Amino acid sequence: MLITKVNEISLVDDNSIVIPILSSNKLHPAKDELCLLFIKNGSNEYMIPINHPESSHQIILSEIIEFFILKAQSIWVFDKKTFLHCLPELYSLDIYDINMLNYFDNNEALDIDNITTPAHSFYENKYRNFSKINRVIPILKHQEKCSRLAEIALKSRELKVTNSFKAYCNAVLYNLYRIEKSGINQADIIKHTEYNLYTAAGRPSNRYGGTNYAALNKDDGSRRQYWSRFKMGGMLEFDFDAYHLRLIANLIDYKLPETSVHEYLGKQYFGKDTLTKEEYGNAKEISFKVLYGGIPKEFMNIEFFRKTISFINDLWLEWSSKKCIHTYLLKRPIYAKNHIEMNKQKLFNYYIQAYETEQNIIIMNDIFKVLEGYNSKLVLYTYDSFLFDFNMKDGTNFMKDIKKAMKYPIKAQFGANYDDMKDVSDKI
Protein backbone atom coordinates (compact mmCIF):
# COMPACT_ATOMS: atom_id res chain seq x y z
CA MET A 1 0.00 0.00 0.00
CA LEU A 2 1.38 3.39 -1.01
CA ILE A 3 0.50 5.84 1.71
CA THR A 4 -0.10 9.58 1.46
CA LYS A 5 -0.41 10.30 5.19
CA VAL A 6 1.34 8.84 8.21
CA ASN A 7 -1.96 8.16 9.98
CA GLU A 8 -2.75 5.57 7.30
CA ILE A 9 -0.20 3.24 8.92
CA SER A 10 -1.66 0.76 11.38
CA LEU A 11 0.59 -1.32 13.62
CA VAL A 12 -1.18 -4.43 14.89
CA ASP A 13 1.86 -5.64 16.84
CA ASP A 14 5.31 -4.52 17.95
CA ASN A 15 7.30 -6.50 15.43
CA SER A 16 7.45 -4.32 12.34
CA ILE A 17 9.97 -5.16 9.64
CA VAL A 18 11.37 -1.92 8.26
CA ILE A 19 13.46 -1.68 5.09
CA PRO A 20 14.95 1.69 4.10
CA ILE A 21 15.52 2.22 0.38
CA LEU A 22 18.28 4.71 -0.30
CA SER A 23 18.47 6.82 -3.44
CA SER A 24 21.80 5.30 -4.47
CA ASN A 25 23.36 1.85 -4.35
CA LYS A 26 26.87 3.29 -4.54
CA LEU A 27 27.18 5.81 -1.71
CA HIS A 28 27.96 5.11 1.91
CA PRO A 29 24.61 5.29 3.78
CA ALA A 30 25.98 8.16 5.89
CA LYS A 31 26.17 10.25 2.71
CA ASP A 32 23.05 8.95 0.98
CA GLU A 33 19.41 10.01 1.32
CA LEU A 34 16.22 8.07 1.92
CA CYS A 35 14.09 7.44 -1.12
CA LEU A 36 11.41 5.12 0.26
CA LEU A 37 10.62 3.30 3.46
CA PHE A 38 8.96 -0.13 3.50
CA ILE A 39 7.07 -1.39 6.56
CA LYS A 40 5.55 -4.82 7.09
CA ASN A 41 3.43 -5.25 10.19
CA GLY A 42 1.21 -8.29 10.49
CA SER A 43 -0.35 -8.79 7.06
CA ASN A 44 -0.06 -5.09 6.21
CA GLU A 45 2.59 -3.69 3.88
CA TYR A 46 3.27 0.01 3.45
CA MET A 47 5.46 1.96 1.04
CA ILE A 48 6.28 5.42 2.35
CA PRO A 49 7.48 7.86 -0.33
CA ILE A 50 10.09 10.26 1.01
CA ASN A 51 12.03 11.30 -2.07
CA HIS A 52 10.67 9.43 -5.08
CA PRO A 53 9.31 11.35 -8.11
CA GLU A 54 6.61 8.79 -8.89
CA SER A 55 4.55 9.87 -5.89
CA SER A 56 2.84 13.26 -5.76
CA HIS A 57 2.63 13.00 -1.98
CA GLN A 58 6.03 12.86 -0.28
CA ILE A 59 6.00 12.16 3.45
CA ILE A 60 8.04 14.54 5.58
CA LEU A 61 10.80 12.64 7.35
CA SER A 62 10.11 14.28 10.70
CA GLU A 63 6.57 12.85 10.60
CA ILE A 64 7.95 9.35 10.11
CA ILE A 65 10.35 9.80 13.00
CA GLU A 66 7.59 11.06 15.29
CA PHE A 67 5.36 8.15 14.26
CA PHE A 68 7.97 5.52 15.13
CA ILE A 69 8.83 7.15 18.46
CA LEU A 70 5.16 7.24 19.48
CA LYS A 71 3.93 3.94 18.02
CA ALA A 72 6.86 1.47 17.88
CA GLN A 73 8.88 0.17 20.80
CA SER A 74 10.90 -2.25 18.70
CA ILE A 75 11.51 -2.83 15.00
CA TRP A 76 13.40 -5.35 12.87
CA VAL A 77 15.86 -4.36 10.16
CA PHE A 78 18.40 -6.16 7.99
CA ASP A 79 21.24 -3.78 8.86
CA LYS A 80 21.00 -1.69 12.01
CA LYS A 81 24.01 0.48 11.17
CA THR A 82 22.56 1.41 7.77
CA PHE A 83 19.16 2.06 9.33
CA LEU A 84 20.67 4.45 11.88
CA HIS A 85 22.59 6.30 9.18
CA CYS A 86 19.19 6.88 7.55
CA LEU A 87 17.19 7.60 10.69
CA PRO A 88 19.60 8.43 13.54
CA GLU A 89 16.79 10.02 15.57
CA LEU A 90 15.40 6.53 16.23
CA TYR A 91 18.49 5.29 18.11
CA SER A 92 16.52 4.98 21.36
CA LEU A 93 14.19 2.31 19.94
CA ASP A 94 14.94 -1.39 20.28
CA ILE A 95 16.25 -2.00 16.77
CA TYR A 96 16.90 -5.69 16.18
CA ASP A 97 19.14 -6.80 13.36
CA ILE A 98 17.95 -9.79 11.32
CA ASN A 99 21.43 -10.46 9.95
CA MET A 100 22.80 -10.53 13.48
CA LEU A 101 20.12 -13.02 14.55
CA ASN A 102 21.08 -15.30 11.67
CA TYR A 103 24.76 -14.88 12.53
CA PHE A 104 24.15 -16.01 16.08
CA ASP A 105 22.71 -19.27 14.75
CA ASN A 106 24.70 -19.89 11.55
CA ASN A 107 27.86 -17.78 11.96
CA GLU A 108 27.06 -15.83 8.80
CA ALA A 109 24.82 -13.03 7.61
CA LEU A 110 21.87 -13.74 5.33
CA ASP A 111 22.66 -14.00 1.63
CA ILE A 112 20.13 -11.54 0.21
CA ASP A 113 22.18 -9.86 -2.53
CA ASN A 114 20.42 -12.02 -5.13
CA ILE A 115 16.96 -10.87 -4.04
CA THR A 116 15.81 -8.58 -6.84
CA THR A 117 13.25 -8.17 -9.63
CA PRO A 118 13.64 -8.09 -13.42
CA ALA A 119 12.83 -4.38 -13.25
CA HIS A 120 15.71 -3.74 -10.84
CA SER A 121 18.11 -5.62 -13.11
CA PHE A 122 16.86 -3.72 -16.17
CA TYR A 123 17.16 -0.23 -14.68
CA GLU A 124 20.44 -0.92 -12.89
CA ASN A 125 21.96 -2.11 -16.16
CA LYS A 126 20.48 0.63 -18.37
CA TYR A 127 21.31 3.49 -15.97
CA ARG A 128 24.42 2.04 -14.33
CA ASN A 129 26.09 5.44 -14.19
CA PHE A 130 23.11 7.20 -12.66
CA SER A 131 23.85 7.82 -8.99
CA LYS A 132 20.23 7.89 -7.74
CA ILE A 133 19.03 4.73 -9.47
CA ASN A 134 16.37 3.85 -6.88
CA ARG A 135 14.48 7.03 -7.71
CA VAL A 136 14.06 5.69 -11.27
CA ILE A 137 12.86 2.18 -10.39
CA PRO A 138 9.04 2.13 -9.97
CA ILE A 139 7.71 2.10 -6.41
CA LEU A 140 5.65 -1.03 -7.08
CA LYS A 141 8.82 -2.93 -8.01
CA HIS A 142 10.53 -1.75 -4.85
CA GLN A 143 7.58 -3.09 -2.88
CA GLU A 144 7.78 -6.40 -4.72
CA LYS A 145 11.44 -6.77 -3.76
CA CYS A 146 10.83 -5.68 -0.18
CA SER A 147 7.96 -8.17 0.18
CA ARG A 148 10.33 -10.99 -0.70
CA LEU A 149 12.89 -9.68 1.77
CA ALA A 150 10.22 -9.43 4.46
CA GLU A 151 9.34 -13.10 4.01
CA ILE A 152 12.99 -14.00 4.59
CA ALA A 153 13.00 -11.77 7.66
CA LEU A 154 9.89 -13.43 9.06
CA LYS A 155 11.45 -16.87 8.68
CA SER A 156 14.71 -15.75 10.31
CA ARG A 157 12.82 -14.19 13.19
CA GLU A 158 11.76 -17.66 14.25
CA LEU A 159 15.30 -18.13 15.58
CA LYS A 160 15.83 -17.71 19.31
CA VAL A 161 16.09 -14.13 20.57
CA THR A 162 18.40 -14.04 23.60
CA ASN A 163 19.69 -11.34 25.90
CA SER A 164 23.08 -11.83 24.28
CA PHE A 165 21.59 -11.09 20.85
CA LYS A 166 19.92 -7.95 22.22
CA ALA A 167 23.23 -6.82 23.73
CA TYR A 168 24.94 -7.17 20.36
CA CYS A 169 22.18 -5.15 18.67
CA ASN A 170 22.01 -2.46 21.34
CA ALA A 171 25.69 -2.07 22.13
CA VAL A 172 27.99 -3.61 19.52
CA LEU A 173 26.22 -2.51 16.34
CA TYR A 174 25.26 0.86 17.82
CA ASN A 175 28.81 1.75 18.87
CA LEU A 176 30.26 0.72 15.51
CA TYR A 177 27.63 2.89 13.81
CA ARG A 178 28.75 5.85 15.92
CA ILE A 179 32.34 5.43 14.75
CA GLU A 180 31.22 5.14 11.12
CA LYS A 181 29.14 8.29 11.51
CA SER A 182 32.13 10.34 12.67
CA GLY A 183 34.14 9.47 9.56
CA ILE A 184 37.85 10.09 9.09
CA ASN A 185 39.31 13.12 7.32
CA GLN A 186 41.22 12.29 4.13
CA ALA A 187 42.46 15.26 2.08
CA ASP A 188 39.74 17.50 3.57
CA ILE A 189 37.00 15.01 2.69
CA ILE A 190 35.25 13.04 5.44
CA LYS A 191 35.39 9.36 4.48
CA HIS A 192 33.12 6.91 6.24
CA THR A 193 34.27 3.43 7.14
CA GLU A 194 32.13 0.26 7.28
CA TYR A 195 32.52 -2.32 10.01
CA ASN A 196 31.56 -5.92 9.32
CA LEU A 197 30.96 -8.15 12.33
CA TYR A 198 30.00 -11.23 10.36
CA THR A 199 33.44 -12.84 10.36
CA ALA A 200 34.45 -16.35 11.42
CA ALA A 201 35.64 -15.23 14.86
CA GLY A 202 33.28 -12.26 15.30
CA ARG A 203 36.18 -9.83 15.17
CA PRO A 204 35.05 -6.90 13.00
CA SER A 205 36.71 -6.13 9.70
CA ASN A 206 36.55 -2.59 8.36
CA ARG A 207 36.72 -2.10 4.63
CA TYR A 208 35.03 0.45 2.38
CA GLY A 209 35.65 1.95 -1.03
CA GLY A 210 38.66 -0.28 -1.65
CA THR A 211 40.40 0.72 1.61
CA ASN A 212 41.02 -1.74 4.42
CA TYR A 213 40.84 0.57 7.42
CA ALA A 214 41.52 -2.27 9.84
CA ALA A 215 44.96 -2.86 8.32
CA LEU A 216 46.30 0.46 7.06
CA ASN A 217 49.99 -0.07 6.32
CA LYS A 218 52.32 1.52 8.88
CA ASP A 219 55.38 1.56 6.63
CA ASP A 220 54.39 2.68 3.13
CA GLY A 221 53.15 6.20 3.96
CA SER A 222 49.49 5.39 3.27
CA ARG A 223 48.51 6.63 6.75
CA ARG A 224 49.92 10.10 6.01
CA GLN A 225 46.77 11.11 4.09
CA TYR A 226 44.61 11.07 7.23
CA TRP A 227 44.62 14.44 9.03
CA SER A 228 42.52 16.23 11.60
CA ARG A 229 39.35 18.00 10.46
CA PHE A 230 40.01 20.72 13.04
CA LYS A 231 42.10 23.84 12.32
CA MET A 232 43.84 23.30 15.63
CA GLY A 233 43.91 19.54 15.68
CA GLY A 234 45.88 16.35 15.22
CA MET A 235 45.57 12.58 15.30
CA LEU A 236 45.71 10.91 18.69
CA GLU A 237 45.98 7.13 19.08
CA PHE A 238 45.67 5.04 22.22
CA ASP A 239 47.06 1.50 22.09
CA PHE A 240 46.54 -1.13 24.74
CA ASP A 241 49.75 -2.57 26.14
CA ALA A 242 49.97 -6.35 25.57
CA TYR A 243 46.18 -6.47 25.34
CA HIS A 244 45.63 -10.17 24.70
CA LEU A 245 48.03 -11.14 27.46
CA ARG A 246 46.12 -8.97 29.90
CA LEU A 247 42.77 -10.37 28.78
CA ILE A 248 44.10 -13.90 29.23
CA ALA A 249 45.30 -12.92 32.69
CA ASN A 250 41.71 -11.97 33.54
CA LEU A 251 40.49 -15.37 32.35
CA ILE A 252 42.99 -17.34 34.40
CA ASP A 253 42.89 -15.04 37.45
CA TYR A 254 46.54 -14.06 37.14
CA LYS A 255 47.88 -10.69 38.30
CA LEU A 256 50.10 -9.00 35.71
CA PRO A 257 52.06 -5.81 36.48
CA GLU A 258 50.89 -2.39 35.26
CA THR A 259 54.32 -2.00 33.70
CA SER A 260 55.49 -3.81 30.54
CA VAL A 261 54.12 -7.35 30.33
CA HIS A 262 56.67 -8.30 27.69
CA GLU A 263 59.50 -7.29 30.00
CA TYR A 264 57.87 -9.16 32.88
CA LEU A 265 57.58 -12.40 30.89
CA GLY A 266 60.92 -11.86 29.15
CA LYS A 267 62.73 -11.95 32.49
CA GLN A 268 61.18 -15.39 33.04
CA TYR A 269 62.05 -16.57 29.50
CA PHE A 270 65.71 -15.65 29.85
CA GLY A 271 66.10 -16.04 33.63
CA LYS A 272 67.39 -12.47 34.00
CA ASP A 273 66.51 -9.43 36.08
CA THR A 274 67.35 -7.00 33.28
CA LEU A 275 66.73 -7.41 29.54
CA THR A 276 68.68 -5.99 26.67
CA LYS A 277 66.79 -4.22 23.88
CA GLU A 278 67.25 -7.30 21.69
CA GLU A 279 65.98 -9.63 24.42
CA TYR A 280 62.92 -7.43 24.92
CA GLY A 281 62.11 -7.70 21.20
CA ASN A 282 62.63 -11.46 21.34
CA ALA A 283 60.36 -11.68 24.38
CA LYS A 284 57.48 -10.13 22.43
CA GLU A 285 57.97 -12.62 19.60
CA ILE A 286 58.08 -15.57 22.01
CA SER A 287 54.85 -14.48 23.74
CA PHE A 288 52.92 -14.23 20.47
CA LYS A 289 54.26 -17.56 19.19
CA VAL A 290 53.40 -19.27 22.46
CA LEU A 291 49.87 -17.88 22.63
CA TYR A 292 48.86 -18.41 19.02
CA GLY A 293 50.91 -21.43 18.12
CA GLY A 294 50.76 -23.49 21.27
CA ILE A 295 52.73 -23.51 24.54
CA PRO A 296 55.95 -25.59 24.36
CA LYS A 297 57.12 -27.72 27.29
CA GLU A 298 60.09 -25.46 28.13
CA PHE A 299 57.69 -22.72 29.24
CA MET A 300 55.42 -24.88 31.35
CA ASN A 301 57.42 -23.88 34.42
CA ILE A 302 56.06 -20.33 34.01
CA GLU A 303 52.86 -20.04 36.03
CA PHE A 304 51.13 -17.75 33.54
CA PHE A 305 51.44 -20.31 30.74
CA ARG A 306 50.71 -23.26 33.01
CA LYS A 307 47.38 -21.70 33.98
CA THR A 308 46.72 -20.71 30.35
CA ILE A 309 47.11 -24.26 29.05
CA SER A 310 44.78 -25.46 31.80
CA PHE A 311 42.18 -22.94 30.65
CA ILE A 312 42.61 -24.00 27.01
CA ASN A 313 42.09 -27.65 27.96
CA ASP A 314 38.93 -26.83 29.94
CA LEU A 315 37.57 -24.76 27.07
CA TRP A 316 38.18 -27.60 24.63
CA LEU A 317 36.49 -30.08 26.98
CA GLU A 318 33.39 -27.88 27.11
CA TRP A 319 33.40 -27.58 23.32
CA SER A 320 33.75 -31.33 22.85
CA SER A 321 30.99 -32.22 25.28
CA LYS A 322 28.42 -29.45 24.67
CA LYS A 323 29.24 -28.67 21.00
CA CYS A 324 29.05 -25.03 21.94
CA ILE A 325 30.78 -22.39 24.02
CA HIS A 326 29.70 -18.88 24.90
CA THR A 327 31.86 -15.76 24.72
CA TYR A 328 33.20 -14.47 28.00
CA LEU A 329 31.38 -11.15 28.37
CA LEU A 330 28.23 -10.98 26.22
CA LYS A 331 27.65 -14.76 25.99
CA ARG A 332 27.40 -15.03 22.21
CA PRO A 333 27.12 -18.72 21.26
CA ILE A 334 29.80 -20.31 19.10
CA TYR A 335 28.43 -23.59 17.77
CA ALA A 336 30.46 -26.60 16.67
CA LYS A 337 28.07 -27.10 13.73
CA ASN A 338 29.43 -23.90 12.17
CA HIS A 339 33.12 -24.71 12.71
CA ILE A 340 33.77 -28.19 11.37
CA GLU A 341 37.58 -27.90 11.31
CA MET A 342 38.03 -26.54 14.81
CA ASN A 343 41.01 -27.47 16.97
CA LYS A 344 42.08 -26.64 20.50
CA GLN A 345 44.37 -23.70 19.68
CA LYS A 346 42.01 -22.22 17.08
CA LEU A 347 39.14 -22.33 19.55
CA PHE A 348 41.21 -20.46 22.11
CA ASN A 349 42.15 -17.81 19.52
CA TYR A 350 38.48 -17.33 18.58
CA TYR A 351 37.57 -17.02 22.24
CA ILE A 352 40.22 -14.38 22.91
CA GLN A 353 39.29 -12.39 19.79
CA ALA A 354 35.64 -12.41 20.85
CA TYR A 355 36.65 -11.32 24.36
CA GLU A 356 38.74 -8.52 22.84
CA THR A 357 35.85 -7.32 20.66
CA GLU A 358 33.26 -7.37 23.43
CA GLN A 359 35.59 -5.72 25.95
CA ASN A 360 36.29 -2.96 23.43
CA ILE A 361 32.59 -2.38 22.88
CA ILE A 362 32.06 -2.02 26.63
CA ILE A 363 35.00 0.38 26.79
CA MET A 364 33.48 2.35 23.90
CA ASN A 365 30.41 2.99 26.05
CA ASP A 366 32.64 4.91 28.46
CA ILE A 367 34.61 6.57 25.65
CA PHE A 368 31.45 7.97 24.07
CA LYS A 369 30.34 9.30 27.48
CA VAL A 370 33.67 11.15 27.69
CA LEU A 371 33.25 12.50 24.15
CA GLU A 372 29.95 14.16 25.09
CA GLY A 373 31.93 16.81 26.94
CA TYR A 374 34.54 17.45 24.24
CA ASN A 375 34.94 18.35 20.56
CA SER A 376 37.25 15.47 19.59
CA LYS A 377 35.88 12.44 17.74
CA LEU A 378 36.54 8.70 17.78
CA VAL A 379 37.20 7.94 14.11
CA LEU A 380 38.73 4.46 13.99
CA TYR A 381 38.84 1.31 16.09
CA THR A 382 41.32 -1.42 15.15
CA TYR A 383 41.38 -4.34 17.57
CA ASP A 384 43.79 -3.05 20.21
CA SER A 385 43.72 0.69 19.52
CA PHE A 386 41.45 3.69 19.22
CA LEU A 387 42.19 6.64 16.91
CA PHE A 388 40.81 10.08 17.72
CA ASP A 389 40.55 13.20 15.63
CA PHE A 390 41.80 15.43 18.43
CA ASN A 391 40.75 19.06 18.87
CA MET A 392 43.58 20.87 20.66
CA LYS A 393 41.02 22.93 22.60
CA ASP A 394 40.19 19.74 24.51
CA GLY A 395 43.70 19.70 25.99
CA THR A 396 45.33 17.11 28.23
CA ASN A 397 42.17 16.69 30.29
CA PHE A 398 40.64 14.88 27.33
CA MET A 399 43.64 12.56 27.11
CA LYS A 400 43.45 11.78 30.81
CA ASP A 401 39.71 11.10 30.67
CA ILE A 402 40.09 8.74 27.69
CA LYS A 403 42.98 6.95 29.39
CA LYS A 404 40.77 6.39 32.43
CA ALA A 405 37.91 5.14 30.26
CA MET A 406 40.15 2.55 28.58
CA LYS A 407 40.71 0.72 31.92
CA TYR A 408 43.87 -1.11 30.83
CA PRO A 409 47.45 0.21 30.59
CA ILE A 410 47.89 2.13 27.33
CA LYS A 411 50.42 3.88 25.14
CA ALA A 412 49.53 7.17 23.46
CA GLN A 413 50.78 8.64 20.19
CA PHE A 414 50.08 12.06 18.70
CA GLY A 415 50.88 13.66 15.35
CA ALA A 416 49.73 16.04 12.64
CA ASN A 417 48.62 13.00 10.64
CA TYR A 418 48.09 9.28 11.20
CA ASP A 419 51.62 8.49 9.99
CA ASP A 420 53.89 11.04 11.66
CA MET A 421 53.11 10.23 15.26
CA LYS A 422 55.25 10.39 18.38
CA ASP A 423 54.87 8.77 21.78
CA VAL A 424 53.16 11.10 24.29
CA SER A 425 52.40 8.51 26.97
CA ASP A 426 54.42 10.47 29.53
CA LYS A 427 52.20 13.53 29.01
CA ILE A 428 49.17 11.81 30.52
- pLDDT tens digit string along 410-422? 999 999 999 999 9
Residue 69: is its pLDDT beyond 80? yes
16, 79, 175, 316 from 89: Cα distances, Å: 17, 16, 15, 44
Neighbours of 111 (CB within 10 A): 9
Note the pTM of the prediction, 2 decimals: 0.94
Residue 303: is its pLDDT beyond 80? yes
Helix axes 344-371, 303-322, angle to 10 degrees: 100
Neighbours of 104 (CB within 10 A): 21
* Closest to 50 measured CA to CA, from 38, 42, 41, 68: 38
Q: Which listed CATH number (3.40.50.300, 3.30.420.10, 3.40.50.720, 3.30.200.20) goes with 6-161?
A: 3.30.420.10
Which class is 187-428 in CATH?
alpha beta
User: Cα(194)–Cα(140) distance, rounded to whole angstroms?
Assistant: 30
Phi/psi region, residue 401 (left: phi>0; alpha: psi -120 to 50; beta: rest), is alpha
Categorize the per-residue pLDDT at 14 as very low, low, confident or very high, splitting at 50, 70 and 90.
confident
User: Cα(96)–Cα(153) distance, rounded to whole angstroms?
Assistant: 11
User: Cα(195)–Cα(198) distance, rounded to whole angstroms?
Assistant: 9
Q: What is the CA radius of gyration of the chain?
A: 24
The answer to whether the beta carbons of residues 387 and 377 sit under 8 Å apart is no
Domain residue ranges of the chain, discontinuous segments joined by +: 6-161, 187-428
The overall average pLDDT reported for the chain is 93
User: For 197-211, what is each residue's pLDDT tens digit?
Assistant: 999 999 999 999 999
Residue 428: is its pLDDT beyond 90? no
Q: What is the pLDDT of residue 293?
A: 76
